[in-house]
């Protein structure tokens, strides 16, 4: 591990060379000091630099993080989660070049995939909300939002005998999941059969 002040000075220079904002983390997290960690940011790009640590005694580790989606979830499925290690003896210019050459190409490729995935998730969430809002308006009720910012219909007391209704919409069709008695199911099937 590099002496803390030396690490700070090196990473400030690295951030300046790359054109990133530099922030040093020094808060407590689960009873462990998070000294000697830096975060470099530039728009959607977030690069973390860790000074030494477990199995990294003479190295610094560089890795990235990704934006959360509209449900406050971080997408990671299928990503390589690239990271590199550099010798602690490298000068700032060498560390900056390592980040540009060895880390950024893979990280930026994954970041683009995350942004595209998040855009698709947002579009589906918007379509789903529109469908649920339309159904809620027809029942004169308001949709409710859960802790993941997903909307549902509060139908208890609104539709007699119906205690559970799940609605989802993929932009082309609405899927309904109902819990019904046999009698209710027969009534609905009779109505559906009469549709032309």
Domain extent for 158: 124-194
Distant-in-sequence, close-in-space partners of 67: CB < 8 Å, separation ≥ 6: 44, 74, 114, 115, 118
Looking at the structure, do residues 40 and 22 belong to the same domain, yes or no?
yes
Which tokens hold the place of 192? 């559906």
Same domain, 70 and 87: yes
Q: Can you give the pLDDT at residue 34? A: 54
Range 120-126, long-range pairs (CB < 8 A, 24+ positions):
121/69, 121/70, 121/71, 122/69, 122/70, 123/171, 124/170, 124/171, 125/70, 125/71, 125/149, 125/150
pLDDT confidence of residue 153 = 78
* 130 and 190 assigned to the same domain: yes
Residues in the chain: 196
A 10 A CB-CB count for 31 gives 5
Q: What is the structure's pLDDT at 27?
A: 52
Q: Is the torsion defined by CA of 147, 149, 152, 153 positive or negative?
A: positive
Question: pLDDT value at position 55?
Answer: 72
Do residue 57 and residue 100 come from a single domain? yes
Are 134 and 166 in the same domain? yes
| Helices of type H across 19-161 | 92-98, 104-138
Instruction: Give yes or no: residues 73 and 159 share one domain.
Output: no
- Considering the domain architecture, whether residues 94 and 190 belong to the same structural domain is answered as no
Cα separation, 103 vs 156, in Å, equals 53
Q: What pTM value is reported for the model?
A: 0.75
Which parts of the chain register pLDDT below 50?
Answer: 30-32
């Amino acid at each position: 591990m590099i002496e803390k002040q030396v690490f700070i000075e090196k990473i400030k220079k690295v951030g300046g060379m790359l054109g990133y904002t530099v922030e040093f983390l020094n808060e407590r997290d689960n009873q462990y000091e998070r000294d000697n960690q830096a975060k470099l940011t530039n728009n959607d790009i977030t690069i973390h630099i860790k000074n030494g640590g477990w199995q990294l005694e003479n190295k610094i580790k560089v890795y990235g993080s990704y934006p959360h989606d509209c449900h406050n979830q971080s997408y990671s499925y299928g990503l390589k989660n690239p990271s590199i290690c550099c010798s602690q003896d490298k000068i700032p210019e060498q560390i900056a070049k390592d980040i540009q050459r060895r880390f950024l190409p893979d990280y930026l490729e994954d970041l683009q995939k995350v942004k595209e995935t998040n855009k698709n998730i947002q579009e589906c969430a918007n379509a789903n909300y529109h469908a649920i809002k339309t159904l809620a308006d027809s029942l004169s009720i308001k949709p409710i939002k859960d802790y993941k910012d997903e909307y549902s219909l509060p139908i208890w007391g609104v539709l007699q005998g119906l205690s559970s209704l799940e609605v989802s919409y993929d932009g082309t069709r609405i899927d309904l999941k109902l819990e019904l008695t046999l009698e209710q199911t027969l009534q609905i099937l009779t109505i559906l059969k009469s549709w032309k």
